[in-house]
Amino acid sequence: MRLVVTGGAGFIGANFVRTVIREHPHAHVTVLDSMTYAANRASLEDLIKVPGEGGSDDDEVRAHLAGGPARVELVEADCADAAVTDRLIAELTGPDDAVVHFAAESHNDNSLATPWPFVHSNIVGTYAVLESCRRHDVRLHHVSTDEVYGDLQLDDPAKFTPATAYKPSSPYSATKAGADMLVRAWVRSFGVRATISNCSNNYGPRQHVEKFIPRQITNILDGRRPRLYGSGANVRDWIHVDDHNSAVLRILSHGELGRTYLIGADGEHSNLAVMTAICELMGVAGSGGDRGFDHVTDRPGHDLRYAIDATVTREELGWEPRHTDLREGLQQTIDWYAANRDWWEPVKERVEARYAQTERVL
Ligand code: NAD
Ligand code: TDX
């Protein structure tokens, strides 16, 4: 099996590549990543070494690298660069070969400050990937988000389903919605062999420290106070990154072409509840009413609640999430950031300096 994984040096993509190497010892993975600020070479470095030389701290991954012909190569390029993307996709000629398209600008706060890179990577980039898949008749899985559906009221019993209408709120979610629409049109008009997945909020190791959970964990590890937007009433539906990726692999092998699958693990929690759990687990919940974190300026247009109904994906594909205890998953994530300071420390200061330009303690 040969895979081209766009955005494979980012959070979900890098964890996906690691899962593929663990579960498919004979796979060959080409990561196509433009190595934006969100990428981290260290997430893949131990995999890129020549098989047999080992190098990985991850025992399972090391065993596979040593024992099989699995290879990971990193091509540093923009997926909107049609010439490079086309050359890599043209090499996918086997029956199980595919493109898994993770590449995107992914952070809502950045999209509010500077929307253009989102239009470029998320829409023009997806266009270039689609055109190459069309030209070479290559199977594509497009990774999208639940944010394309807009938000739900806090007291609404409803969840997003594959039939929910698109109603994006931010430049980020609007460009992801645009990309999804391109994929649907290329399936219908040109017969591109594609599937789409829309997943809820991911957490786990190797997530950039600009995002909610790793930002708070690394703030605490650094002796800074965690930052909660507004009151913290907003609800997110958390899923461990490995569960997202096991669903993507299931869709690749068993999904029906042209279909959209929703991925979620029934992990709805308010931001306040997640923040409180992190502070408790890390022992910083203070005394005398100090809960250990600051409330800061809210995000403009802040989506209230996301919630995924993944019944179809579970029932039709037989997929089940394995990491369903958020507190346990948070503890593992805290342990990972505590043990891997080299991975995040070089970018932490810059991220906090950027937040400091707009954030005000309430
Ligand atoms: P990330 O920002 O951590 O990683 C994105 C990667 O894409 C980076 O390595 C970056 O360098 C690369 N990239 C960006 N533009 C590129 C371009 N034009 N060409 C090549 N590479 C480019 O993001 P993530 O959290 O890993 O998200 C991956 C995908 O999953 C995105 O498509 C995102 O919309 C989707 N998604 C994310 C979540 C989440 O909670 N993080 C949830 C659902 C869906
Ligand atoms: O410091 C913070 N404090 C805070 O309260 C940050 C960074 C965020 N928040 C809040 C905003 C959100 O309600 O936490 C929640 C999660 O924020 P993010 O980690 O920025 O994620 P979100 O905006 O929900 O989007 C994420 O999930 C869907 C990913 O970043 C997207 O790529 C994905 O599509």
Give nearest CA residue, ligand 2 atom 23: 108
* For the CA of 271, the nearest atom of ligand 2: 14
Q: What is the pLDDT of residue 289?
A: 73
Token pair of 132 as six digits: 């190459």
Ligand nearest to C-alpha 233: 2
217 within some domain: no
Percent of the chain exceeding pLDDT 90 equals: 90
329 within some domain: no
256 within some domain: yes
Helix axes 171-190, 125-136, angle to 10 degrees: 20
Ligand 2: residue of 199, 206, 211 to mutate (most ligand atoms within 8 A of CB) is: 211
Q: What CATH number does residue 184 fall under?
A: 3.40.50.720
173 within some domain: yes
Query: Does any ligand 2 atom lie closer than 6 A to the CB of residue 215?
Result: yes
Length of the chain, in residues? 362
193 within some domain: yes
216 within some domain: no
Ligand 2 center–CA 234 separation, angstroms:
10
pLDDT tens sequence across 82-112: 999 999 999 999 999 999 999 999 999 999 9
* For the CA of 146, the nearest atom of ligand 1: 43
Ligand 2 center–CA 1 separation, angstroms:
34
Q: Which residues of 220-235 are buried (b: 16+ CB within 10 A; e: fewer)?
A: bbeeebbbbbeebebb
Query: Does any ligand 2 atom lie closer than 6 A to the CB of residue 132?
Result: no
Mean pLDDT value across residues 257-284 = 97
Query: Does any ligand 1 atom lie closer than 6 A to the CB of residue 102?
Result: yes
331 within some domain: no
Is the full-model pTM beyond 0.85? yes
Residue 274, CA distances (Å) to 65, 129, 225, 234, 268 in order: 36, 36, 15, 11, 10
Place of tokens 């809820």: 200
226 within some domain: no
Ligand nearest to C-alpha 175: 1
Token pair of 47 as six digits: 């995999």
Query: Does any ligand 1 atom lie closer than 6 A to the CB of residue 340?
Result: no
CA distance linking residue 358 with residue 210, whole number of Å: 14
Give nearest CA residue, ligand 2 atom 17: 212
pLDDT tens sequence across 30-71: 999 999 999 999 999 888 854 345 455 666 666 555 555 558
How many CB atoms within 10 Å of residue 158?
11
pLDDT at 26 exceeding the cut of 80: yes
Ligand 1 center–CA 291 separation, angstroms:
33
pLDDT at 264 exceeding the cut of 60: yes
**Number of domains the chain contains:** 1
Q: Is 55 left (phi over 0), alpha (psi -120 to 50) or beta?
A: left
Active site residues: 146-147, 172
Give nearest CA residue, ligand 1 atom 37: 145
Query: Does any ligand 2 atom lie closer than 6 A to the CB of residue 106?
Result: yes
* For the CA of 232, the nearest atom of ligand 2: 5
Residue 212, CA distances (Å) to 141, 207, 232, 236, 342 in order: 27, 10, 11, 11, 19
73 lies in which domain range? Answer: 2-207+237-266+305-322
N-term to C-term CA, the chain: 52
Q: What is the pLDDT of residue 60?
A: 64
Query: Does any ligand 1 atom lie closer than 6 A to the CB of residue 100?
Result: no
pLDDT tens sequence across 316-334: 999 999 999 999 999 999 9
Ligand nearest to C-alpha 219: 2
Query: Does any ligand 2 atom lie closer than 6 A to the CB of residue 164?
Result: no
Residue among 21, 24, 30, 132 nearest 77 (CA): 30
DSSP state of 120: I
Ligand nearest to C-alpha 236: 2
